[in-house]
């Protein structure tokens, strides 16, 4: 007998309401209403999964179709060759960067002097608008007076006086303004400056603003710089580098010519392959339009348009024949590429010969990439030889193309790729950086506040940290864009920090920047949960430990901390889950470069960021759309797994105590 | 060790130093968090407060606008309306350096006030100008007149070479009027031209883009192997001629398509010249006002005559008298000249004075102006030419204030909280009062825990999929692109002609077509909505709208609300319920009278906590509700009345503060001119969010103190 039935029939104080529908009384109806609302949570979870799957499930067939076209058209074949060239070009572009870094390092402030000069000029010019305009007017006035035939002497004198007055005014004012500009005001903080040039720069800028001509100072500097540069460039290791660089560049031309020729063919093939793929639908639509046309003339036009649509599939064997025939030509350019690169790499100077650390690190990178290069070339050549346009593309390939793909390219005129790996790597790396930074602070803070601090500190520190949790993520992202990014870039230039891997950071929007902000955002979550876990440790543990003669810290680290470790692990997992699902910070602060990052000082993109950035501009139901929902589904699964793991640990813990 | 056996004796050894060090590290960790927090708040306040101080109240009353940065030459006697002058002062704190002789005066302008009578004919462009000058006036017209006479104005003499057919039409238009447009005799000019009759054999040929473009309008059937891209004018593609065809084409087509000695042309099997005469009529139209028929004006359009009529749709017929319209005198003259079919009454000249400011710009300077101030200063000095700019930069969204985003965020939060609280409280009552511990409740709790862990962007995707593109609507004008439609009742009232035109509604006739056929028909006519007399249940989604965003946010915040409501219900002692039940109250009665009132403060705290969470979220509203640019507040510019207007209001997109910050911080180029807007918006946003956060903290503390059972 259920309680509700009893209350209806036997309750002595029950009012007989008479309200009954399908055997459900008023009280039960109320209960079911509330129950229905509670069930919403379950329904919602299923709906979310359902919608993500519904929009994502079309991805596989669509991506398979797209990859099939990619293969049938021969684009895949030519892309193997472009991969070879790209790998080699990476070497040459690194080699071309080295001299600049070396020069910058050796020249120091001299190297950036012109940039500093123009930076100063920009700053001053804005504030001198009125004076500069007046000078311009005075000058054109003088010109006009002189142009009169014959010139009136009195007018000329006045005009000259006006010019002189304007020049004086500009000179005084620009002197004032420039005097107030310091190196610290520069927009680009990475410029190298030297105090000994400051006065000269100010004077020169002032002169330059008045006359509009290159000043003597700048000319001198240029001459000195040119002399120094020539000297540095003449150093044996830079000469050697230049030679190697030329060797790297030389074989690129014939290879690029080969590539261009066959890429054109492949892209033509693609055009021909795409045209009939939607032809049937288009023809149908056009015929419908003709049927519904209001005028006879319009109907005729529509019919002709319908008839013009090509429905036959092209002959792929014939289209791709040229590509198969090009294998010999490819071998030739490839051999050149490999030979010259080998010689160039052998001729490369040693990294230790370079003074600048950035130059040296790039030489090292060339060497490591160079070792991989030959393997890449061989593998790609092998791919090309065994390539056949008839090999069917399976679902497995589409699936691995998504999960293992290293490229995310959309809206390309060549071919779209939807590989989630760079996004996943970016998301995971930034979350890892953030959690590694956050955990010591959050857990350390929790231990301190919970076990070691005074009651006064307890009362104040907790609400303040909770307040950080209330800062909206977009505000954090904004601070990252405006303040934190530049701050990190500036302070990591410090040579004292150069022992940290991937320092100095060369950009303001990097994984590190986003990681620091995300760490700050996740500290409240981890802190609160860790503090809860510490709170739940029975008091007896502490008392027992202290009675046995251990100190406060021994109690905390040997007794209390181990007994609530799983709670803290759960806190960290929950924090990780929150970070990986965070959108705005990674969207605005991480730089948005879609590539697998090499280090934490690289810009990267993320799963959440790509969705936020792209889904607004994508046609509903397209391949791109479903790819983005696939990313959403993947993110959902990751977040749920982390959440579930954390909850399980917490549950076990609560059973334990 | 030997020294003492006293267990309380503290040894000064390395252990102690180590402990102090570890403790120090912990203190540093803790306080560096606090320092970071202070840094964040400090940075925002120190940069944001001056902006709010400088912009003052106008930051909260203006909408976001484009900021113009003008380099202005020095000038005397520049004029502008007083209220825009205030805007100029707010945007330029350095104004005292270059402002001189600021004198207020009253500018008098001449207006014409009149009543517009029913059955007037008025051109489209003139009507919309009239409506923009009279914000309260909107004409829901139901009829158009294709045969009304229309007028146009020529500022200078215009020479026209009319083609023969056009000449005849114009002549005919002059037939039944006493002010003919065409001069009495128009000289005729004959030119001999050739058409070409060509035959092309079946086969596959290369075809250049130019030739292809020329052939598209001809009746030739050719199949392209691939389509041409717009950016490759020199491309040659292959085409298939399926059968031998003979067509007649004009000479320019012929020369474009065949008479090239380049590669991409089709070979002609035979060609034959078909000569014919083309006749032109040369005439001159004098400057001044002219009238003619709608058809004739449509032809004259092609000869470069400018006007504001819409010749394709015809003139609008005014269906009811409209009283008290006011327009500037200049526009009145233009209006009456261009619309001969206009019927007016009670025409009177009115003078209006507006407070103006006259000032000098004492030196060349840089002035920052919001869009509306920029427009008003430019138009006020257009005649005198005293406002001269030598350079102009524009910065989108960097001027004005944040009223739109604030209102949008407020509305989103309200809708979200209504939805979330009503379901959240009900759910928590069930979980705490009714449910036992069964597997059903366990499932619900598990689902809630997991729902709390879903990333906010996934909620955004979900909202996009469910509310924006699939949610059900009951309407008489469903979208043609709707996923699924069911007809309900045949009760729809036909929208007026204006709505039909503006919203591209396909009006189907009486025949009952299925939804598929209607959609196809609409697609063919490129109409967006369908009307056929039925009221439909259509799964077409609510679009990017307030209600979609509100629901998405509500779902996101639901777990938080349920958990904290449940907590406050649990805090009500069991004895309250037992006492109430023992007194004979029913279950619901005891919940209503003995539990809910005491849980209410807790529920209120929960809702404030929810507001804090919801107001700060960007990702869920990015694709469900928020837009960067919106010139009107959500309740302005609604085109319907009554309950429909409320629905329209719910379905309108909004600006929102977090999205606005995203726009100014991440989507427009950064510059020093954008920074005030960035910090100002962030400051306002933080004030709002932190206010609610502080309220929730305060309430929690108060409740803990006050409500102890």
pLDDT in tens, A150-200: 777 888 888 888 888 888 888 888 888 888 888 777 777 677 777 778 888
The model's pLDDT over B468-525, given as tens digits with 9 standing for 90+, comes to: 988 888 888 888 777 788 888 877 777 888 888 888 888 876 556 677 777 777 777 7
Chain B contact for A553, CB < 8 A?
yes
Rounded-to-integer distance, Cα B40 and Cα A523, Å: 14
Angstrom distance (rounded) from CA B250 to CA A236: 72
Contacts of A14 in chain B (CB under 8 A): 584, 586
**A440 vs A535: CA distance, rounded Å:** 18
CA distances A325 to A263, A267, A330, Å, are 14, 17, 10
The residue with tokens 């407060």 is B49
Identify the pLDDT of residue A638: 93
Contacts of B461 in chain A (CB under 8 A): 51-52, 55, 611, 615, 628-629, 632
Across the strands, what pairs with B81? Answer: B356
Q: Is A581 on the interface with B (CB under 8 A)?
A: yes
Name the 3-class secondary structure at A468: helix
Confidence of residue B549 (pLDDT cuts 50, 70, 90): very high
pLDDT on residue B647: 83
A2 pLDDT more than 50: no
What is the per-residue pLDDT across B667-676, written as a single tens digit (0 to 9) for each?
A: 888 888 888 8
Residue B700 has pLDDT above 70, yes or no: yes
Average pLDDT over residues A79-84: 88
Within the 215-274 window of chain B, which residues sit less than 8 Å (CB to CB) from chain A? 219, 221-227, 229, 237, 240, 242
Query: A 22-61 residues with CB below 8 A of B?
Result: 26-27, 30-31, 33-35, 37-42, 44-45, 47-48, 51-52, 54-55
The torsion angles phi and psi of B174, rounded to 5 degrees, stand at -80, -10
Q: Is B429 on the interface with A (CB under 8 A)?
A: yes
pLDDT of res. A1: 40
Complex ipTM: 0.86
C-alpha distances in Å from residue B631, one per residue of A116, B55, B129: 42, 20, 18
Question: CB distance from A350 to chain B under 8 Å?
Answer: no
Does residue B640 surpass a pLDDT of 80?
no
pLDDT, tens digit (0-9, with 9 covering 90-100), for A383-411: 888 888 888 888 888 899 899 988 899 88
By Cβ distance, the residue of B33, B465, B520 closest to A523 is: B33
**What pLDDT does B11 receive?**
56
DSSP one-letter code for B83: H
Give which of A107, A123, A105 is closest to A201, Cα–Cα: A123
List the 413-432 stretch of A: residues with Cβ below 8 A of B: 413
**Rounded Cα gap, residues A604 and A74, in angstroms:** 31
Residue for token pair 């490369």: A348
Chain B positions touching A57 (Cβ under 8 A) are none
Q: Is the pLDDT of residue B172 over 60?
A: yes
Residue A572: closest CA among A519, A536, A609: A519
Per the CB < 8 Å rule, is B227 touching A466?
no
DSSP state of B229: P
Whether B676 has its CB under 8 Å from any CB of chain A: the answer is no
Whether residue A230 is predicted with pLDDT greater than 90 in this model: the reply is no
Q: What percent of chain A has pLDDT over 90?
A: 15
The answer to whether the CB atoms of B689 and A134 lie below 8 A apart is no
Residue of B26, B444, B617 lying closest to A447 (CB–CB): B26
- Chain B residue with CA closest to A636: the answer is B454
Q: Strands, E, within B43-93: which ranges? A: 64-72, 75-81
In this prediction, residue A8 carries a pLDDT of 47
Contact A377, A84 (CB under 8 A): yes
pLDDT attached to residue B260: 59
- Report the share of chain A in percent with pLDDT over 70: 96
Residues 216 through 275 of chain A touching chain B, CB cutoff 8 Å: 268, 271-272, 274-275
Q: How confident is the model at residue B164 (pLDDT cuts 50, 70, 90)?
A: confident
Environment class of B669 (CB within 10 Å of its CB; exposed 0-12, middle 13-18, buried 19+): exposed
Whether residue B705 is predicted with pLDDT greater than 90 in this model: the reply is: no
The per-residue pLDDT for range B351-386, each reduced to its tens digit, is 888 899 998 888 888 888 988 888 888 888 888 888
CB proximity list for A387: less than 8 A, separation 6 or greater: A76, A77, A80
Cβ distance B616 to A470 less than 8 Å, yes or no, reads yes
Query: What is the reported pTM?
Result: 0.87
Q: H/E/C letters for each residue in B239-303?
A: EEECCCEEEEEEHHHHHHHCCCCCCCCCCCCEEEEEEEEEEEEEEEECCEEEEEEHHHHHHHHCC
Domain boundary assignment for chain B = 65-104+352-399, 118-185+287-342, 188-281, 472-540
A552/A556 Cα distance (integer angstroms): 6
Strands B505-507 and B529-531: parallel
Nearest to B682 among A461, A475, A553 (CB): A475
A52 neighbourhood in chain B, CB within 8 Å: 458, 461-462, 465
Measured at the CA of B568, the angle between CA B566 and CA B569, to 5 degrees, comes to: 65
pLDDT tens digits, one per residue of B51-92: 999 888 888 888 888 999 988 888 888 888 988 888 888 888
Interface size A-B, in CB pairs within 8 Å, comes to 302
Which chain B residues have a beta carbon less than 8 Å from that of A275?
A: 224-227
Mean pLDDT, chain B, as a whole number? 84
CA distance, residue A495 to nearest chain B CA (Å): 24
Phi, psi of B350 (to 5 degrees): -125, 145
B621 pLDDT tier (thresholds 50, 70, 90)? very high
* Residues with Cβ within 8 Å of residue B586, at least 6 apart in sequence: A7, A11, A14, A15, A27
Closest Cβ–Cβ partner in A288, A452, A467 for B520 = A288
CB-count burial class (<10 Å; 0-12, 13-18, 19+) for A226:
exposed
Residue A631, pLDDT score: 94
Does residue A504 or residue A99 have the better pLDDT? A99
Q: Check if B32 contacts A (Cβ < 8 Å).
A: yes
Please give the pLDDT value at position A428.
Answer: 93
Cβ within 8 Å, pair B423-A129: no
- Contact between chains at B37 and A468 (C-beta distance less than 8 A): yes
Query: Each residue of B413-426: pLDDT tens digit?
Result: 999 999 999 999 99
- Measured between beta carbons, which residues in chain B are less than 8 angstroms from residue A549? 7
pLDDT at A430: 94
Q: Which residue of B has its CA nearest to A313?
A: B225
Map tokens 């004409």 to a residue.
B139
The Cα B596–Cα B581 span in angstroms is 14
- Asked whether the beta carbons of residue A275 and residue B227 sit closer than 8 angstroms, the reply is yes
Distance from C-alpha of B470 to C-alpha of A337, rounded to nearest angstrom: 55
Average pLDDT, chain A: 84
- Per residue in A324-382, pLDDT tens? 888 888 888 888 888 888 888 888 888 788 887 778 888 888 888 888 888 888 888 88
B690–A contact, CB cutoff 8 A? yes
Angle value at C-alpha B296, between B290 and B302, nearest 5 degrees:
95
A279 close to A312: Cβ distance less than 8 angstroms: no
Whole-angstrom distance, CA of residue B421 vs CA of residue B415: 10
The string of DSSP letters for B493-549 reads PPPPHHHHHHTTEEE--SS---HHHHHHHHHHTT-SEEESS-EEEEE----S-HHHH
Check if the beta carbon of residue A420 is closer than 8 Å to that of residue A405. Answer: yes
pLDDT band for position A17 (50/70/90)? low
Q: Per-residue pLDDT tens for B204-226?
A: 888 888 888 888 888 888 888 87
Contact B240, B225 (CB under 8 A): yes
pLDDT at B10: 56
* Average pLDDT, integer, range B146-150: 81
B679 close to B48: Cβ distance less than 8 angstroms:
yes
Residue of A nearest to B420 (CA): A37
Contact A180/B at CB under 8 A: no
CA distance B358 to chain A (A): 21
Query: Are B222 and A308 within 8 A, CB to CB?
Result: yes
Mean pLDDT confidence for B136-164: 83
Whether residues B25 and A444 touch (CB distance < 8 A) is answered with: yes
CB nearest to B223's CB, from A268, A308, A557: A308
- The chain A residue lying nearest B687, using CA atoms, is A471
Contact A86, A94 (CB under 8 A): no
Please tell me which residue of chain B has the smallest CA distance to A462. Answer: B34
Res. B9 pLDDT band, cuts 50 70 90: low
* Average pLDDT of span B232-240: 80
Rounded to 10 degrees, the C-alpha dihedral B399/B405/B406/B408 comes to: 160
What is the C-alpha separation between A282 and A280, in angstroms, rounded? 6
Query: Do A26 and A43 contact (CB within 8 A), yes or no?
Result: no
8-state DSSP, A459 = H
Q: Which two tokens stand for residue A237?
A: 């290791």
Quick check: A465 and B37 in contact, CB under 8 A? Answer: yes
Nearest by CB: A51 against B364, B427, B465: B465
Q: Residue A267: its chain B contacts at CB < 8 A?
A: none
B558 contact residues in A (CB cutoff 8 A): 40-41, 44
- pLDDT tens for A588-617 read 999 888 988 888 888 999 999 999 999 988
Distance CA A412, CA B344 (A): 59
CA angle A21, A26, A29 (to 5 degrees): 75
Given this model, what pLDDT does residue B4 score?
A: 53
Q: What average pLDDT score do residues A198-205 get?
A: 83
């Amino acid at each position: 007998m259920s309680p509700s039935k009893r209350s209806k029939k036997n309750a002595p104080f029950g009012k007989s309401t008479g309200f009954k529908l399908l055997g459900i009384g008023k009280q039960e109806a109320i209960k079911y209403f509330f129950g229905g609302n509670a069930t919403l949570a379950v329904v919602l979870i299923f709906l979310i999964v359902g919608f993500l799957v519904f929009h994502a499930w079309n991805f596989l067939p669509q991506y398979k179709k797209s990859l099939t076209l990619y293969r049938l058209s021969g684009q895949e074949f030519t892309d193997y060759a472009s991969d070879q060239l790209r790998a080699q070009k990476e070497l040459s572009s690194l080699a071309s960067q080295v001299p600049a870094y070396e020069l910058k390092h050796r020249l120091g402030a001299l190297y950036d002097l012109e940039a500093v000069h123009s930076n100063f000029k920009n700053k001053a010019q804005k504030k001198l608008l009125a004076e500069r305009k007046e000078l311009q007017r005075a000058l054109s006035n003088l010109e006009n007076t002189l142009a009169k035939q014959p010139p009136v002497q009195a007018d000329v004198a006045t005009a000259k006086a006006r010019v002189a007055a304007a020049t004086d005014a500009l000179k005084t004012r620009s002197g004032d303004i420039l005097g107030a500009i310091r190196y610290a005001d520069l927009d680009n903080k990475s410029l190298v400056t030297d105090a000994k040039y400051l006065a000269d720069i100010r004077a020169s800028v002032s002169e330059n603003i008045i006359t509009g001509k290159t000043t003597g100072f700048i000319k001198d500097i240029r001459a000195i710089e040119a002399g120094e540069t020539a000297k540095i460039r003449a150093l044996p290791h830079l000469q050697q580098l230049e030679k190697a660089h030329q060797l790297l560049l030389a074989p690129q031309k014939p290879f690029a010519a080969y590539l261009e020729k066959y890429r054109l063919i492949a892209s033509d093939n693609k055009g021909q392959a795409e045209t009939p793929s939607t032809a049937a639908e288009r023809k149908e639509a056009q015929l419908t339009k003709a049927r519904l046309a209001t005028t006879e003339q319009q109907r005729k036009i529509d019919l002709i348009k319908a008839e013009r649509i090509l429905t036959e599939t092209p002959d792929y064997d014939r289209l791709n024949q040229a590509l198969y025939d090009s294998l010999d030509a490819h071998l030739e350019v490839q051999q050149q590429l490999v030979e010259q690169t080998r010689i160039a790499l052998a001729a490369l100077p040693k990294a230790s010969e370079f003074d600048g650390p950035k130059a040296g690190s790039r030489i090292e990178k060339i060497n490591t990439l160079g070792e991989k290069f030959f393997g890449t070339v061989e593998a790609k050549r092998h791919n090309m030889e065994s390539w056949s346009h008839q090999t069917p593309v399976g679902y497995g390939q589409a699936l691995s193309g998504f999960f293992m793909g290293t490229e995310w390219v959309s809206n390309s005129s060549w071919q779209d790729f939807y590989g989630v790996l760079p996004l996943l790597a970016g998301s995971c790396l930034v979350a890892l950086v953030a959690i590694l930074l956050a955990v010591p602070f959050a857990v350390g803070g929790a231990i301190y506040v919970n076990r070691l601090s005074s009651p006064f500190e307890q009362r104040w520190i907790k609400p303040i940290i909770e307040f950080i949790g209330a800062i909206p993520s977009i505000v954090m992202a904004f601070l990252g864009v405006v303040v934190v990014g530049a701050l990190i870039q500036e302070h990591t230039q410090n040579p004292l920090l150069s022992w940290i891997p991937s320092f100095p950071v060369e950009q303001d929007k990097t994984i590190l920047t986003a990681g620091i902000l995300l760490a700050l955002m996740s500290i409240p979550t981890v802190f609160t949960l860790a503090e809860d876990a510490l709170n739940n440790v029975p008091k007896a543990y502490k008392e027992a430990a202290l009675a046995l003669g251990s100190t406060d810290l021994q109690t905390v680290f040997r007794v209390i901390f181990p007994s609530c470790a799983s709670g803290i692990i759960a806190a960290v997992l929950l924090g990780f889950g929150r970070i990986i699902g965070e959108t705005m910070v990674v969207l605005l602060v991480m730089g948005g470069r879609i590539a697998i990052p090499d280090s934490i000082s690289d810009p990267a993109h993320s799963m959440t960021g790509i969705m936020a950035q792209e889904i607004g501009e994508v046609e509903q139901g397209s391949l791109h759309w479903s790819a983005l929902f696939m990313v959403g589904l993947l993110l959902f699964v990751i977040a749920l797994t982390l959440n579930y793991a954390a909850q399980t640990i917490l549950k076990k813990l609560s059973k334990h105590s | 060790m030997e020294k003492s056996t006293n267990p309380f004796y503290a040894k000064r050894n390395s252990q102690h130093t180590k402990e102090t060090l570890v403790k120090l590290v912990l203190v540093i960790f803790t306080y560096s968090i606090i320092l970071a927090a202070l840094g964040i708040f400090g940075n925002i306040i120190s940069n944001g407060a001056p902006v709010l101080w400088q912009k003052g109240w106008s930051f909260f009353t203006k909408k976001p606008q484009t900021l113009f940065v003008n380099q202005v030459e020095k000038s005397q006697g520049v004029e502008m309306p007083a209220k825009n002058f205030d805007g100029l002062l707010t945007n330029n704190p350095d104004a005292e350096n270059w402002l001189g002789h600021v004198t207020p005066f009253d500018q008098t302008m001449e207006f014409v006030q009149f009543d517009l009578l029913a059955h007037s004919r008025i051109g489209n462009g003139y009507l919309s100008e009239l409506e923009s000058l009279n914000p309260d006036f909107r004409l829901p017209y139901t009829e158009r007149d294709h045969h009304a006479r229309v007028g146009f104005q020529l500022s200078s003499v215009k020479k026209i070479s009319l083609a023969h057919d056009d000449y005849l039409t114009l002549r005919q238009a002059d037939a039944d009027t006493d002010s003919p447009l065409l001069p009495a005799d128009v000289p005729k000019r004959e030119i001999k031209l050739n058409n070409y009759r060509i035959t092309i054999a079946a086969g596959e040929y290369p075809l250049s883009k130019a030739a292809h473009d020329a052939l598209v309008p001809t009746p030739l059937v050719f199949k392209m192997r691939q389509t041409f891209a717009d950016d490759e004018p020199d491309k040659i593609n292959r085409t298939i001629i399926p059968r031998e065809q003979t067509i007649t084409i004009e000479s320019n087509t012929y020369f474009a398509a065949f008479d090239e000695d380049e590669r991409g042309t089709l070979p002609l099997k035979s060609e034959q010249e078909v000569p014919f005469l083309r006749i032109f009529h040369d005439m001159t139209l004098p400057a001044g006002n002219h009238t003619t028929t709608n058809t004739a004006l449509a032809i004259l359009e092609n000869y470069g005559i400018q006007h504001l009529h819409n010749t394709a749709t015809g003139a609008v017929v005014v269906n009811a008298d409209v009283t008290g319209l006011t327009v500037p005198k200049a526009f009145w003259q233009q209006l009456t000249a261009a619309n001969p079919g206009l019927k007016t009454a009670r025409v009177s000249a009115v003078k209006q004075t507006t407070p103006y400011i006259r000032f000098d710009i004492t030196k060349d300077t840089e002035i920052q102006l919001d869009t509306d101030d920029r427009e008003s200063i430019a138009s006020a000095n257009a005649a005198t030419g005293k406002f001269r700019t030598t350079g102009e930069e524009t910065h989108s969204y960097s001027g004005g204030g944040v009223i739109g985003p604030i209102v949008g965020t407020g509305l989103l939060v309200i809708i979200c909280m209504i939805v979330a609280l009503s379901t959240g409280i009900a759910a928590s009552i069930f979980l705490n009062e009714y449910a036992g511990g069964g597997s059903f409740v366990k499932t619900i709790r598990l689902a809630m825990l997991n729902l709390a862990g879903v990333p906010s962007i996934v909620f955004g995707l979900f909202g996009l999929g469910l509310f924006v593109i699939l949610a059900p609507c009951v309407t008489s004008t469903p979208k043609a692109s709707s996923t699924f439609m069911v007809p309900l009742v045949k009760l729809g009232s036909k929208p007026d002609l204006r709505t039909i035109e503006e919203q591209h509604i396909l009006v189907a006739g009486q025949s009952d077509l299925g939804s598929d056929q209607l959609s196809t028909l609409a697609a063919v006519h490129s109409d967006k909505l369908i009307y056929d007399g039925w009221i439909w249940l259509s799964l077409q989604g609510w679009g990017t709208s307030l209600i979609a965003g509100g629901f998405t946010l509500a779902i996101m915040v639901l777990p938080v609300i349920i958990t904290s409501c449940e907590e406050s219900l649990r805090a009500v002692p069991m004895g309250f319920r037992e006492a109430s039940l023992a007194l004979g109250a029913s279950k619901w009665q005891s919940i209503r009278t003995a539990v809910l009132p005491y849980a209410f403060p807790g529920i209120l705290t929960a809702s404030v906590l929810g507001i804090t969470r919801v107001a700060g979220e960007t990702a869920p509203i990015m694709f469900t509700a928020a837009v960067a640019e919106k010139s009107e507040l959500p309740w302005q510019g609604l085109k319907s009345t009554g309950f429909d207007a409320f629905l329209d209001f719910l379905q309108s997109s909004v600006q929102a503060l977090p999205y606005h910050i995203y726009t100014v911080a991440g989507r427009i180029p950064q510059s020093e001119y954008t920074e005030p807007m960035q910090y100002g918006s962030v400051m306002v946003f933080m004030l709002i969010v932190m206010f609610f956060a502080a309220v929730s903290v305060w309430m929690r503390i108060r409740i803990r103190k006050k409500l102890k059972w």
